[in-house]
Amino acid sequence: MTATETLTPSATVERVRQLFNPKSIALIGATDKSHWSLSIYKNLIDGEFPGKVYLVNPRGIVVHGQQSYATVADLPEVVDLAFVMVGTGVVIEVMEQVADAGIRSAVVLTSGFGEVGEEGAALEARLVQLAEERGITVLGPNGNGYVNVASEITPYGLLLPGKLKKGSIGVVLQSGALASAVIQLAQTRNAGLSLLVSMGNESMVSMTDVMRYLVEDEATKVITLFIESIRHPEDFLEVSRMALAAGKPIVALKVGRSEGGARVAKAHTGSLVGDDSIIDAVFRQNAVIRVDSLEDLIVTSELLSHAAPLPGRRIGFVTPSGGACEVISDRAEDEGLLIPDFSAETEAKLAEVLPDFASGHNPIDVTGYILIDPLLPIKALDAIQDDPNIDEIVYVADLPHEVPPDFDAAVARYSLQGDAIKHAHKPVIVMSNTITDITPSGRAVAEATDFPGVVGGIHHGMTALGRAAEWSERYRAAIAAGAGATGGAGATGTPIAVDAAPGETFAERKAAALLAENGVPMVPNALVDSAEAAAEAAERFGYPVVVKLAADEIEHKSDIGGVRLGLADADAVRRAYDDVVAAGRGAGAANPTALVQPQRSGGVELIVGAVRDPKWGLVLAVGLGGVWVEVLKDSTLHLLPVDRAQIKKGLESLRGAKLLNGARGTEAADIDAIVDVVAGIADVALRLGDRLESLEVNPLLVRGSEIEALDALITWK
């Protein structure tokens, strides 16, 4: 309920709970001429809504075979929910009547608001103002409503394909029309839902409000999102952490990957930070599972709804086919899942039950002999269930697609399998070969035998398993740490006060001094005002050194001959001092002096930068410098603040990470030392406050455990 910003989170949850749990509903604008009216009425009747449904039609006629009321005022009781589907022009008037009637929750299906332009947006603002003033909770406008599957409450404007299967997946969609596709997919995967909400314009109740409710909702175990835009970033971060702490995975399909694109900014960091790569970072840091397709959205949610958390990523596979084993092996590699060898004891047990020509290795192909002995897979399952090398078992099997010729025999066979799976000593995940529907025949057999859920095909199933394993690790880590994930909340540490003009840029000395004062290991430098002082500084640092013009008024010093590299002795330094100062004077500097620095060579260069995203706040980019960042954009992003573990994981995920491990004969870098410095830079960026626009250290030179920032740039808003 972020539009108002006045309700506490718990009050918001309470109002959303009321919205989704009405005991009586008034359909306002009910008419036989409207598809929406027909559909929602049929949904409520066929869905066996246990409460009372009233119809409101200005003519007070019979609608859908039921007597209607001319206005809300005529209703015989104060209903819990108004479902508004009147013309755009009368929505405000109707909502006033709704308020007058004391109704506290409304779904506004009507479109023609913010989505159609300025005039509509103004109307939407009036709607919100009215709702706030009169204390009405509004879902929509321009949304199809919701299906509270758990409680059989279906004020939903598109016709449902019969009663939806009850389960523990809570679905929130920012697309109305795709909801039907998602519902159908869930039905064909036999995936049970707790709630499905079509958000509409989110003028009042937002996606994150619904998520917050779902975190508390006992019927919901998995939160499934179709996201076009995250409108309330801070809420999203907070709710994501709450969900992780509550052990409820969030699975999200975020569309619009190609939109936005990378920022162009003064600092290199800008080119590394794209809208979609920030979303990746946000999700990764907060254990939100990102998927790429509606199929993965539902298959992954369904798997998680009955198998999360997974004990680990070491899996024993029981399959009826060598081909399936090979597909599985390939996909396991893609998804970072492990197929360990069985223990000798397990292999001995398998040798007893499998035919001689079966290999008995993981993944197990019980072979075509399954046609002669249909219980072979159960025997294999029994043989491997105590193996210490595996965390869980995947059992490849399909429910019957057609009505089995001998239904009772099929039921008996599936019963035996179902029992073996349920009583196995390790979690067992049943996975079909492909994602073909679980048909009514399959569902009938599953229901008759209490057969477990069947994950939708090896291809999507292995993706789901990989994501589930990753989430489960994050969940266990969060539980162990006694806290949620990190990233993206307010600043930490003592603020650093800086006197910077609006739009000012701190380069070189000024940036370096600020960072050095705050604990960032900058390469030493000396500001000198004579050739002799330059030579003395160089002697102190050791050779070779660099001499740079120091003159704030000149931007591109190397262009005017203001930078001299590779100076190997005192004479060269003195000459360089005179040269750069002369060059500075020639270019109009009032009082040029020079900076002496030791010149470093070798090692690996990193770039570490933080830029402020208008939506997500400070985003830290860490990458390998030079060609890596310029050609490959090889970098990893984190929302700030970020913990050391995430920084480390990010470094290790770089494509060029091997360079840090001492590839090509370079000294292996001290990763922990790098993490210290990066964390320090991130900390300074946070402490510099809201006016910081960007802070970049480039390059950060890494030579073994010696980490030194060679240059820095800070820009201010």
Q: Which residues bind a second copy (CB under 8 A)?
A: 35-36, 111-112, 115-116, 158, 161-162, 173-178, 181, 184-185, 188, 226, 228, 253, 255-258, 292-296, 320-324, 326-327, 329-330, 333, 356-357, 368, 371-372, 398, 401-402, 433-437, 439, 457-460, 626-627, 630-632, 655-656, 658-659, 663-664
Sign of CA dihedral 134, 138, 141, 144: negative
Q: Nearer to a second copy by C-beta: 169 or 551? A: 169
Q: What minimum distance in Å lies between the beta carbon of 115 and a second copy?
A: 7
Q: Nearer to a second copy by C-beta: 1 or 606? A: 606
DSSP string, 162-204: SSPPEEEEEEEES-STHHHHHHHHHHHTT--EEEEEE-TT-SS
Q: What minimum distance in Å lies between the beta carbon of 432 and a second copy?
A: 8
Q: What minimum distance in Å lies between the beta carbon of 664 and a second copy?
A: 6
With CA atoms as reference, report the closest residue to 306 among 456, 485, 146: 456
Q: Which contiguous run of DSSP H or E holds residue 255? A: none
Dist CA 503 CA 614 (whole Å): 16
Q: What minimum distance in Å lies between the beta carbon of 551 and a second copy?
A: 24
Q: What minimum distance in Å lies between the beta carbon of 419 and a second copy?
A: 24
Sign of CA dihedral 196, 201, 205, 208: positive
Q: Nearer to a second copy by C-beta: 373 or 386? A: 373
Compute CA distances 114 → 142, 202, 211, 317, 483, whole Å: 9, 10, 23, 52, 39
Q: What minimum distance in Å lies between the beta carbon of 218 and a second copy?
A: 29
Q: What minimum distance in Å lies between the beta carbon of 253 and a second copy?
A: 8
Question: At a CB cut-off of 8 Å and minimum separation 6, what does 501 contact?
Answer: 716
Contact 689, 491 (CB under 8 A): yes
Contact 232, 238 (CB under 8 A): no
Dist CA 377 CA 359 (whole Å): 14
Q: Nearer to a second copy by C-beta: 276 or 578? A: 276
Residue 45 CB coordination number (10 Å): 14
In the three-class reduction of DSSP (H, G, I as helix; E, B as strand; rest coil), residue 86 is classed as: coil
The alpha-carbon radius of gyration of the chain (Å, integer) is: 32
Q: What minimum distance in Å lies between the beta carbon of 431 and a second copy?
A: 12
Q: What minimum distance in Å lies between the beta carbon of 53 and a second copy?
A: 21
Q: Nearer to a second copy by C-beta: 149 or 185? A: 185
Q: What minimum distance in Å lies between the beta carbon of 256 and a second copy?
A: 5
Question: At a CB cut-off of 8 Å and minimum separation 6, what does 585 contact?
Answer: 592
Q: Nearer to a second copy by C-beta: 328 or 692? A: 328
HSE-up (13 A, CA, CB side) for residue 598: 13
Dist CA 53 CA 107 (whole Å): 14
Q: Nearer to a second copy by C-beta: 5 or 402? A: 402
Q: Nearer to a second copy by C-beta: 22 or 466? A: 466
State the Cα angle at 43 between 39 and 45, rounded to 5°: 120
Q: Nearer to a second copy by C-beta: 184 or 530? A: 184
Residue 403 CB coordination number (10 Å): 13
Q: What minimum distance in Å lies between the beta carbon of 178 and a second copy?
A: 4
Q: Nearer to a second copy by C-beta: 101 or 116? A: 116
Dist CA 506 CA 715 (whole Å): 6
CA 412 remoteness from chain centre: 43
Q: Nearer to a second copy by C-beta: 216 or 276? A: 276
With CA atoms as reference, report the closest residue to 512 among 501, 503, 520: 520
Q: What minimum distance in Å lies between the beta carbon of 255 and a second copy?
A: 4
Q: Nearer to a second copy by C-beta: 633 or 687? A: 633
